[in-house]
Structure 1
Amino acid sequence: MPNNSPAGKKTALRSLLAYGKPHRRQFTLVFFLTLFAVAADLLQPYLVKVAIDDNIMVGKNDFRMLLIICGLYLLLSLSGFVFSYLMNNVLQYASQSIIARIRKDLFRHISRLSMSYFDRTSSGSLITHVSSDTESLNQFFSQVLLSLMRDGLTLIFIVVVMFQLDVELTLYCLILVPVIFLIAIAFRRHMRKTYQRSRTALSRLISFAAENLAGMSLIQAFHQEKEQKSRFADRNRSYFGANLSEVSTNVLFNRSFDILGGLAVAFVTWVGGNAVFHGNVEFGVMYAFITYIRLFFQPISTITQQWNTLQSAMVSANRIWSVFAVQPEVKDAVVPVNVDPKTVRGRIDFQRVHFYYEDGRPVIHDLSLRIEPGEMIGVVGVTGAGKSTLIGLLCRFYDVRQGSVKIDGTDVRDIPQAQLHRLIGLVQQEPYLYSGSIVDNVRMFDESISREEVERACRFVGADELIGRMRNGYDTRLSERGSGLSAGERQLISFARIIVFQPKILILDEATANLDSYTEQLVQNALRVVSEHRTTIVIAHRLSTILHADRIIVMRGGRIVEEGTHARLLELRGYYEELVRHSRGKAGVG
């Protein structure tokens, strides 16, 4: 959970500013460019004052001097434009570089977290962190810092120039400052609430949309379109209302400052006009005062509004750094044992393994199992028997609570995860394909694997024929998750991956569960090819998948209750026979 305490926010702010340290030179340059841009803009009314008081009002009619003043005015205008242009470009380069680095680090950190984290964290909230929250941080650098520098310098410059023009008139104008701050304080709390409510509603909307898009096949399969549309409309309506409330509050705040600015101009005109009539103040000075007092309110309004952006950025930073603070539960050993894939034979030992998830309910109970190199093992049992958990422990998605899992006598906890995952090839019920070409999907974007190796692997598992029927062959680009391909075609591509990466241990997690008979036969042929000379574990949904396995493990309640060949288990007339009877009578045993 995010740490919303002041200490947590300070930590997030320090961490955020640490990302800005490599760009100190750019921010220093932005400061000076801002200083020059503000000076160029605010010197223009002073030039008009000089033209009025030193030329026109005294009747000099010095056209040469007026021409010089006009030239300087034009030069200041162009300089202000150039400095502002450079300032915004430098700032955007620095801020975008920082946010790009944060996004990269955040994605890399998330990809290293243990599976238990994804079990309890929705994908929608993680998408919000990577997209919406990082964009809030971008606004911190591109808007808040810019406003603090530009508007802060503008206020200081205006006050200094006004004091140079007329001290008494400036003091009269500064009477309005407490009123300005009272209005800002009065609105700030309400503006913060409306802003946070709007951002929260947007986050929920994005999260809901992301999760529904990920599960669209399930929504359509159960005809939930109407229900999900209604739920989306509720969240959309909530965001709509929160957004309107935020906009109306900002409009009311801005109009209050406009009214106050108008009153200030009227006050200066009255006081300054009397002074001009009595000869105490020059007309050009009053003109400059009126211009500066009108400019005085805009930066105050902008800075006050940026308070909400700052608060949003701090909340987003807190969320992001709460993710950074999560450490993987599964970590490499302090002194890892490096294994040479060429020497791995593939013997697997589960030794008195106990495991439970966060809720503490036991899933695996004192399980011991040895699988010999090259042996093909079938694992069967009803849902919840612990089959997939067993595989998760071997792949080290989770760590055992007691006991050990070993490969060739080496505890998987001692093997670096990068090496372990290259030793084990996993084919799941729904193989994941990425947006990209078939070649990229087979070699998993590893450029060190040649195209020839990919094509050879596809021919080896029988996928070459189906790829040849595609318009662009191996260069055919697949959409996300491989939509457009049948389940069997996706499985064949995943088998080709196995051939390419040459793992010593092969795991099939209900890989034939959703296939028709013809496609299942193609996959079975591919399975025989890829399992040759490999230790193979097949979690079976269809018992026909593992009839010819060297050994079948029957699990129930996290324990192995029976094991043996298909024929031997039938002779026992026990739990396995019951599973076979159920599978023949109705589908769904797995």
Structure 2
Amino acid sequence: MRQDINNWQSDRNADPGKKPKPQYRSAFRILGSYVRPHRLAFALVIVCTVIAIGAELFQPYLVKVAIDDNLMGGSQDYGGLLAICFIYFGLSLTGLLFTYLQNNLLQYAGQSIVAGIRKQLFEHITKLSMSYFDKTPSGSLITHVSSDTEAVNQFFNQVLLTLLRDGLTLLAILGMMFHLDPVLGLYCLVLLPVIAVISVAFRSFMRNTYQMARTRLSRLVSFVAENLSGMHLIQAFHQQKAQAEQFKERNEAYYKANIREIRTMVLFNRSFDLLSNLTIAFVTWIGGKAVLGQTLEFGVLYAFITYIRQFFQPINAITQQWNTLQSATVAVNRIWSVLDTRPDIEDRPQPVQIHWESVEGRIDFNRITFGYGSESPVFRGLDLHIRAGETIGIVGTTGAGKSSLISLLCRFYDVQEGSILIDGHDIRDLPQARLHRIVGLVQQEPFLYAGSIIDNVRMFDETISRDAVVRACEFVGADRLIRRMKDGYDTKLSERGSGLSAGERQLLSFARIIVFRPKVLVLDEATANLDSQTEQLIQRALQVVSEGRTTIAIAHRLSTVMQADRIIVLRHGEIVEEGTHRELLERKGFYEQLYRHSQGEAKEEEVRMQRKNASMPFKENVV
């Protein structure tokens, strides 16, 4: 399957000068590559479908035989008429049985394919580079994983079954019509070009309509996801009304697209209803004259009219699934646009394998140059060397490049010039899985998943024992607060750990570090959102966690890095100063300005805390 997909990609990219192939063809080729591993199941579906169709279409022919040979012919063969009734009943049971088998086989194969697509899509998204998520709204990706895969699911549940069953039914009905009366069959055959003209006339317009509806739905979902993520800001700044107005605009646009889609579909279907009624009237008139003129048997006319009604039923069924087909083809191309995106950061074909135990943690930034897209470079030839086991503090104003430096070390992005080495190995030569075990990252807002505390600490890795998690939590001082909870380590956390304070969440992230034992520890503003008292608690845990590891701490509060072996001062992507806290203060340079500024903020916070504490007895008395 993967080879077929790769062939499709090479065909698509073979000649940029040629016009792109139609999206229908591309979508069906993509789906065909997923269908191929289930060939046996689909072959059995076809066999069951043929038997079920045969059993259904032979029933009007039996009625024709009963009318012409038994009723109109004056035959008194009641036994033969009873046999026809039993055969009719047997055909009904046969149709029921094989229709049941056909549906179950198709659902099994279809659900397996959709589950595989959903799994492949999610795994691929998790492997994409950070630059992709910088440009792509999370709501759009949620739409791909949920709504678009559901559209593909509907293709297998509804469209494929309709195309297969009703397409074969149409061919079989035409065969039965020509068998009964070739002249009337030719009259009905004239309908096919008319049907084709109506389909082609609507096809392009309908596709644009469904594409518009899907696009507007994606924008709506993306807007909702963005607002849910930033709900605290919306409420803090009383933006509910403004956001509601923006939602109303997007909702109105999606509503209009849906109304346009429904109008198009109704007009399309009613055109076929009108054509069906005109055809039945025409055949009744022509066939009735032939029956009155005794050139056509009445049973043949009855069977013919029954087949005409059945002829338009599959056509109506196919056209009613047209919007689902449109939605599925659009969804397949949208899904494939994600699967076709290659990560900017990929492992080398033959990466360097180093033993985790042998890593010392020496880091070298060798004259690196880096910028985001077409923007001016953040770093121009930056040079920084960190000894194994050294604790480095990185400070600077907003936009100085502190977080960018860490993103490069974690290889969320690649440098454009220069190199980053760990123990003399270029990180681009290391497997990403190994690099991320070597470099442990603790962020300003530690992310906790919905699940138990023990699973959050070990990141759902069952190979890490419960005892190892408990020891890690004891090591960083999180054990006492965990045991105070109702279910202890089995306490279920909500999304992002909303039931815990910022300090408690940070302690759990430190416990993760102990469990996974990285050689290099990176702290990205790990105490920025903590009050002074909690920060002291975290600082003690930090000293425990960083022991024996190369530690890089990005800090907004200079108190976090005052005890570091060396402090690096960044300004506009350049190292302007470096040294210990005392050395930098004695120079009375940029760091000294940052320090005086931070001291002012610290005093303000201390005053706020004093006022808060002073007001507590008053509040208690009021209560």
Fold in common (TM above 0.5): yes
CA distance in 2, matches of 1:360, 1:10: 39
Partner amino acid, structure 2, of 1:211: E
Correspondences of 1:241-260 after superposition (within 5 Å): 241-260=256-275
CA distance in 2, matches of 1:27, 1:222: 57
Q: Secondary structure at the match of 1:513?
A: coil
Partner amino acid, structure 2, of 1:33: C
- Residues 439-497 of structure 1, C-alpha deviations (whole Å, 9 max, x = no match): 11000111110001101111111111111121111111112211111111111110000
In structure 1, the residue matched to 2:120 is 105
The counterpart of 1:355, out of the listed 359, 364, 370, is 370
Report the CA distance shift for 1:554/1:9 in structure 2 as closer, same or farther (over 3 A). Answer: farther
CA distance in 1, matches of 2:474, 2:349: 42
CA distance in 1, matches of 2:463, 2:352: 25
In structure 2, the residue matched to 1:329 is 344
Which moves more between the two structures, 92-101 or 200-209?
A: 200-209
In structure 2, the residue matched to 1:516 is 531
In structure 2, the residue matched to 1:115 is 130
In structure 2, the residue matched to 1:529 is 544
Partner amino acid, structure 2, of 1:314: T
CA distance in 2, matches of 1:62, 1:13: 54
In structure 2, the residue matched to 1:287 is 302
Q: Secondary structure at the match of 1:362?
A: coil
- Checking the alignment, whether the CA contact within 8 Å between 2:269 and 2:319 is kept in structure 1 is no
Partner amino acid, structure 2, of 1:560: I
Q: CA deviation at 1:586?
A: 4.0
CA distance in 2, matches of 1:267, 1:365: 82
Report the CA distance shift for 1:434/1:51 in structure 2 as closer, same or farther (over 3 A). Answer: same
The counterpart of 1:471, out of the listed 459, 462, 486, is 486
Q: Secondary structure at the match of 1:413?
A: helix
Q: Give the structure-1-normalised TM-score.
A: 0.95
Correspondences of 1:204-283 after superposition (within 5 Å): 204-283=219-298
The counterpart of 2:51, out of the listed 36, 41, 44, is 36
In structure 2, the residue matched to 1:86 is 101
CA distance in 2, matches of 1:65, 1:235: 67
Correspondences of 1:363-382 after superposition (within 5 Å): 363-382=378-397
Report the CA distance shift for 1:587/1:234 in structure 2 as closer, same or farther (over 3 A). Answer: farther
Q: Give the structure-2-normalised TM-score.
A: 0.90
- Checking the alignment, whether the CA contact within 8 Å between 1:438 and 1:475 is kept in structure 2 is yes
Which moves more between the two structures, 199-208 or 473-482?
A: 199-208
Unmatched 5+ residue regions in structure 2? 1-11, 14-18, 604-623
CA distance in 1, matches of 2:165, 2:155: 14
- Residues 423-449 of structure 1, C-alpha deviations (whole Å, 9 max, x = no match): 111000011111111111000111110
CA distance in 1, matches of 2:305, 2:530: 80
Report the CA distance shift for 1:332/1:172 in structure 2 as closer, same or farther (over 3 A). Answer: closer
CA distance in 2, matches of 1:508, 1:9: 49
In structure 2, the residue matched to 1:400 is 415
In structure 2, the residue matched to 1:47 is 62
Unmatched 5+ residue regions in structure 1? none
Q: Secondary structure at the match of 2:378?
A: strand
In structure 2, the residue matched to 1:569 is 584
Report the CA distance shift for 1:61/1:542 in structure 2 as closer, same or farther (over 3 A). Answer: farther
Q: CA deviation at 1:94?
A: 0.9
Report the CA distance shift for 1:8/1:176 in structure 2 as closer, same or farther (over 3 A). Answer: closer
Partner amino acid, structure 2, of 1:376: T
- Residues 501-560 of structure 1, C-alpha deviations (whole Å, 9 max, x = no match): 111111110011111222212211110110111111110011111111111111000011
- Checking the alignment, whether the CA contact within 8 Å between 1:349 and 1:406 is kept in structure 2 is yes
Q: CA deviation at 1:12?
A: 4.9
- Residues 336-360 of structure 1, C-alpha deviations (whole Å, 9 max, x = no match): 2222121211111112121112124
Report the CA distance shift for 1:8/1:52 in structure 2 as closer, same or farther (over 3 A). Answer: closer
In structure 2, the residue matched to 1:429 is 444
In structure 2, the residue matched to 1:506 is 521
Q: CA deviation at 1:303?
A: 2.9
CA distance in 1, matches of 2:241, 2:349: 53
CA distance in 2, matches of 1:181, 1:324: 34
CA distance in 1, matches of 2:281, 2:341: 58
In structure 2, the residue matched to 1:178 is 193
- Residues 153-181 of structure 1, C-alpha deviations (whole Å, 9 max, x = no match): 11111111111111222223333333333
Q: CA deviation at 1:216?
A: 2.6
Q: CA deviation at 1:184?
A: 2.8
Q: CA deviation at 1:90?
A: 0.9
Q: CA deviation at 1:150?
A: 1.1
- Checking the alignment, whether the CA contact within 8 Å between 1:188 and 1:304 is kept in structure 2 is no
Q: CA deviation at 1:105?
A: 1.5
State, as a whole percentage, how many aligned pairs show the same letter: 65
> How many residue pairs align between the two structures?
588
Report the CA distance shift for 1:10/1:178 in structure 2 as closer, same or farther (over 3 A). Answer: closer
- Residues 55-113 of structure 1, C-alpha deviations (whole Å, 9 max, x = no match): 11122243322222222222211221221111111111111111111121122122112
In structure 2, the residue matched to 1:194 is 209
Whether 1:552 and 2:567 are equivalent positions in the alignment is yes
Report the CA distance shift for 1:256/1:66 in structure 2 as closer, same or farther (over 3 A). Answer: same
CA distance in 1, matches of 2:359, 2:30: 44
CA distance in 1, matches of 2:313, 2:229: 45
